[in-house]
Structure 1
Amino acid sequence: MSVVAVPGSKSVTARALFLAAAADSTTTLRRPLLSDDTDGFAQGLTALGYHVRRTPDTWRVTGRPAGPAVPEADVYCRDAATASRFLPALAAAGHGTYRFDASPQMRRRPVAPLTTALRQLGVDLSHDEADGHLPLTVNADGIKGGELDLDASLSSQFLTALLLTGPLTAEGLRINVTGLVSAPYVEITIAMMRAFGAEVARDGNALIVPPGGYRAADYAIEPDASTASYLFAAAALTGREVTVPGLGTNALQGDLAFVDVLGRMGARVDIGPDATTVCGTGRLAGVTANMRDISDTMPTLAAIAPFADGPVRIEDVYNTRVKECDRLEACATNLRRQGIRVETGRDWIEIHPGTPARAEIACHGDHRIAMSFGTAALRIPGGVTFDEPGCVKKTFPEFHEVFSALRRDWNL
């Protein structure tokens, strides 16, 4: 059995950085993820005047409930959707003029649901080029609060940004939500807000956040469940066994439910109090899986799907078309390049059994495409190559080294 320590959760680290910045004194974050996305988020806070002190295992953030410490700032969010969507909301609760821009890849991704909602709340902001996209300027003068409607069908991050901002408003928020995808990510947000002293109530499809701010905390970041999906898939694919410590029955992240899909396909799964183990059995069965709530793991399943003994159909994942790339199309194109029969629709993909050929994987600058097909390569003689191997730095900079070590340890 291999025991592999997974880096901290990107989603939890980003939320923790927001909460720490908004809290009433200094917060200590333990074992945060150090990757391009989280480094970009931390540097964004620094640009806004927050004090962030970092060591490899511990970050300390001095919060400012009144908002950014500087009256004007330019913030570059790199490829990070969390920074691009959370930081403008944080800045809007302060006072000053704040400009946000990002990479060409992130500029293509929408922010309109968030900016429309902020405008409903009276925030003065403008899209400097394409409407609904970065770059964006926020002329902040605090947020009164109130009631708003939000279509969360493209990403749960828009709802998270508003929820996180709720305690910073003068009157609180009532958010009427429709079309929510990736609902477990919202549960992460609510649990973490409570850990920092805020409250969130439910009324049907509405979420209600009273004002009151946040308390600083000493907060440990759990391992990233999306990253762990590659290790769990590797074990199921190769008939080996892997344990990821730190992800157990009390894990915040819904993406741990990916192991349930592997269990339905024939792997043995054990979720304990403090760790999760997946053991491959030498067989992967075909499956139909609704992955609306765990869509970040869709490429992981798609990449290993040809090794199943029947078709693998993944449904209700339209939102993966507006991630770092169109992930449905990227998976289909790469699988076809490997000689696999694939059909797709608006929000689904069906992959037929086959023997993937060695090929160069087109990553489209997307870390999850690279890591998913890198996982499947464990069963491909000669492996695969990547046109952009370095894109894994976004969330798991050590991916290639970790999987090379697994290949050696498992004699593959």
Structure 2
Amino acid sequence: MTVIDIPGSKSVTARALFLAAAAEGTTTLLRPLRSDDTEGFAEGLKALGYAVRQEPGAWHIEGRPAGPGVAEADVYCRDGATTARFLPALAAAGHGTFRFDASPQMRRRPLGPLTTALRELGVELAHGEREGHHPLTVTGRGIKGGALRLDAGQSSQYLTALLMLGPLTADGLAVTVTDLVSEPYVEITLAMMRAFGAEIAREDGPEGRTYTVAPTGYRATTYAIEPDASTSSYFFAAAALTPGGAVTVPGLGTGALQGDLGFVDVLRRMGADVTIGADRTTVRSTGTLRGLTVNMRDISDTMPTLAAIAPFADGPVRIEDVANTRVKECDRLDACAENLRALGITVDTGPDWIEIHPGTPAGPAEIATHGDHRIVMSFAVTALRTPGVTFDDPGCVRKTFPDFHTVFEAFARGL
């Protein structure tokens, strides 16, 4: 049995950094993820005047409930969607002029639903080039709060940014959501906000679900970051794919915040043996992977992982309701189809689905990564059964797991 320690969750680390910056007092984050995305978020906070001290295994953030500690700043968000979407909302609660820009990849990703909502709350902001995209200038004068409607069908991060902003408003915030994707990520947000002292109510009505956030502010705390469930999916998938394979990931169990742990339920449906304990999850191969049809709307970051092992199933694998994967770091649905076809696999796609037929992937082949870390890590699993697979940009894993190739290679040797 291989036991592997997975780096901290990117999603949890990003939210914790926002909440710590907004809280009264000094917060200590234990085992935060150190990657390009989270380092970019921390650098963004520093540019906004927040004190962030990074030590091995612990980051210390001095909160500023009144907002950024500078009156003017330029923030480069790199490739990080959480940085690019969360920090403008944080800055809007302060006072000053804050300019945000991002990588060409992040500039292509949509921002419009969030900035439209901020404007409805009275925030003065301007897109520098293309409406609804970075670069973006936010002029913060504090936020009174109020009620608004939001379409979060492209990304739950729009809703998360607004929810985390709520306790910093003068009168509180009520957000009615008309569409929502990746709902488990919102549940992460709510649980973490409450851990920092926020009060949130939720009510379902005829016009959608309404989240009401009280203007409580936040209190500093010591917060432990759990392992990344999306990253764990590659190791779980590899174990399920390999006859005799087994892996245990400590720190992810029945109390885990991250919905992407639900990927192991997909593996169970395919025939893998799955045990979820209080503080760990184990996946064992049974030597068989069955085809299936699965809705992955709520765990869409693991869609490429399933696509990467789908050819080895005994029947077609159809993944549905994943339109939002087309507006991630790349069009992940098309990227998976492109690479599987390059390996000789028959693939059909539609606007929000992909169907992968059984087959034996043929190498050698170079995977077109499109600069997307999840494409690399997913097809590394395919490569376990496909000699000669290489990647045109293997280093893009630095976004979430800089040491992925070294760790995965050592893990694979032990399967």
Q: TM-score range by the shorter chain?
A: over 0.9
2:319 matched to 1:314?
A: yes
Residue identity in the other structure for 1:59 = W
Shift of 1:256: 0.1
Determine the C-alpha separation between the residues in 1 that align with 2:276 and 2:139: 47
TM-superposition CA deviations, 1:93-142 (whole Å, max 9, x none): 00000000000000000000100000000000000100000000001100
Shift of 1:381: 2.6
Residue identity in the other structure for 1:38 = T
Determine the C-alpha separation between the residues in 2 that align with 1:391 and 1:56: 23
| Among candidates 231, 237, 242, match of residue 238 of structure 1 | 242
Residue identity in the other structure for 1:139 = T
Shift of 1:353: 0.2
1:187 aligns to what? Answer: 187
2:404 aligns to what? Answer: 399
2:352 matched to 1:347?
A: yes
Determine the C-alpha separation between the residues in 2 that align with 1:339 and 1:290: 25
2:276 aligns to what? Answer: 271
TM-superposition CA deviations, 1:317-356 (whole Å, max 9, x none): 0000000000000000000000000000000000000001
2:373 matched to 1:367?
A: yes
2:134 aligns to what? Answer: 134
2:66 aligns to what? Answer: 66
Determine the C-alpha separation between the residues in 2 that align with 1:281 and 1:302: 19
2:215 matched to 1:208?
A: no
2:343 matched to 1:338?
A: yes
| Among candidates 210, 230, 234, match of residue 226 of structure 1 | 230
Determine the C-alpha separation between the residues in 2 that align with 1:156 and 1:26: 28
TM-superposition CA deviations, 1:131-165 (whole Å, max 9, x none): 00000000110011000000000000000000000
Shift of 1:407: 2.5
Query: Aligned residues: percent identity?
Result: 75
Shift of 1:203: 1.7
| Among candidates 371, 379, 384, match of residue 378 of structure 1 | 384
Unpaired segments ≥5 residues, structure 2: none
SS at match of 2:358: coil
Residue identity in the other structure for 1:85 = R
TM-superposition CA deviations, 1:185-237 (whole Å, max 9, x none): 00000000000000110121100001010000000000000000000000001
Determine the C-alpha separation between the residues in 2 that align with 1:196 and 1:406: 36
SS at match of 1:179: strand
Q: TM-score, normalised by structure 2?
A: 0.98
SS at match of 1:328: helix
Residue identity in the other structure for 1:10 = K
1:81 aligns to what? Answer: 81
Determine the C-alpha separation between the residues in 2 that align with 1:268 and 1:407: 19
SS at match of 2:219: coil
Determine the C-alpha separation between the residues in 2 that align with 1:380 and 1:56: 37
1:150 aligns to what? Answer: 150
Unpaired segments ≥5 residues, structure 1: none
2:267 matched to 1:262?
A: yes
Shift of 1:357: 1.2
CA RMSD after TM alignment: 0.5
2:305 aligns to what? Answer: 300
2:9 aligns to what? Answer: 9
SS at match of 1:255: helix
Determine the C-alpha separation between the residues in 2 that align with 1:233 and 1:203: 37
Q: TM-score, normalised by structure 1?
A: 0.99
Residue identity in the other structure for 2:7 = P
Residue identity in the other structure for 1:330 = A
SS at match of 1:302: helix
Shift of 1:409: 1.8
Shift of 1:56: 1.8
For 1:155-194, what aligned pairs fall within 5 Å after superposition?
155-194=155-194
1:285 aligns to what? Answer: 290
Determine the C-alpha separation between the residues in 1 that align with 2:25 and 2:318: 49
Determine the C-alpha separation between the residues in 2 that align with 1:321 and 1:178: 20
Determine the C-alpha separation between the residues in 1 that align with 2:202 and 2:44: 32
Determine the C-alpha separation between the residues in 1 that align with 2:349 and 2:293: 14
SS at match of 2:359: coil
SS at match of 2:281: strand
1:217 aligns to what? Answer: 221
Residue identity in the other structure for 1:371 = M
Shift of 1:398: 1.2
Shift of 1:32: 0.2
SS at match of 1:325: coil
